[in-house]
């Protein structure tokens, strides 16, 4: 009687493990689809502001791309075009600024609070 109970428990554990493995495989397949869609779109890009720097410092994108800067630093920063093309408000921690680059060109920018912080967007 006892060995029957242990055998049933072992079978139940095996079935649970099969379900778990199956759900993991489905999740991995979905991730692959999402990555593919991101690459096909290519109309959005991100710049991270952290530790007094823009990363990537130089970002090259196709015309029509919207770039979103996110301040991940614990102090305020801004994103200001050197040539007056765009200008964010002061961005506190986790605040964002987005700008859509319609025309090809080189767009240098800096942080108005810390002018030594510089970056560049290259639009092709
Ligand atoms: Cu700054």
CA distances from 1 to 4, 8, 100 (A): 5, 11, 72
69 and 14, same structural domain?
Answer: no
Domain hosting 99: range is 44-123
**What pTM, to 2 d.p., does this model score?**
0.67
Does 49 or 41 have the greater pLDDT score? 49
On average, the pLDDT of the chain sits at: 81
Q: How far is the CA of 123 from the centre of ligand 1 (A)?
A: 23
Does 21 or 57 have the greater pLDDT score? 57
CATH, residue 101: 2.60.40.420
Instruction: Please say whether the beta carbons of 74 and 52 come within 8 A.
Output: no
Buried (b) or exposed (e) across 87-122, using 16+ Cβ within 10 A?
A: ebeebeeeeebebebeeeeebebbbeeeeebebbbe
Does 61 or 16 have the greater pLDDT score? 61
72 and 36, same structural domain?
Answer: no
Q: How far is the CA of 98 from the centre of ligand 1 (A)?
A: 16
Q: How far is the CA of 105 from the centre of ligand 1 (A)?
A: 24
Question: Does residue 27 carry a pLDDT above 70?
Answer: no
Q: How far is the CA of 111 from the centre of ligand 1 (A)?
A: 5
Q: What is the pLDDT of residue 9?
A: 47
pLDDT mean over 94-100: 98
61 and 105, same structural domain?
Answer: yes
């Amino acid at each position: 009687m006892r060995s029957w109970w242990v055998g049933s428990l072992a079978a139940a554990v095996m079935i649970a493990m099969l379900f778990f493995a199956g759900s993991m495989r489905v999740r991995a397949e979905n991730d692959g689809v999402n990555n593919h869609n991101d690459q096909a779109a290519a109309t959005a890009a991100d710049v991270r502001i952290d530790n007094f720097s823009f990363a990537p410092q130089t970002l090259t994108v196709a015309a029509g791309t919207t770039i979103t800067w996110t301040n991940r630093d614990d102090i305020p920063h801004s994103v200001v075009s050197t040539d007056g093309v765009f200008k964010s408000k002061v961005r506190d921690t986790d605040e964002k600024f987005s700008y859509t680059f319609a025309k090809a060109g080189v767009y240098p920018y800096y942080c108005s609070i810390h002018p030594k912080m510089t970056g560049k967007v290259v639009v092709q």
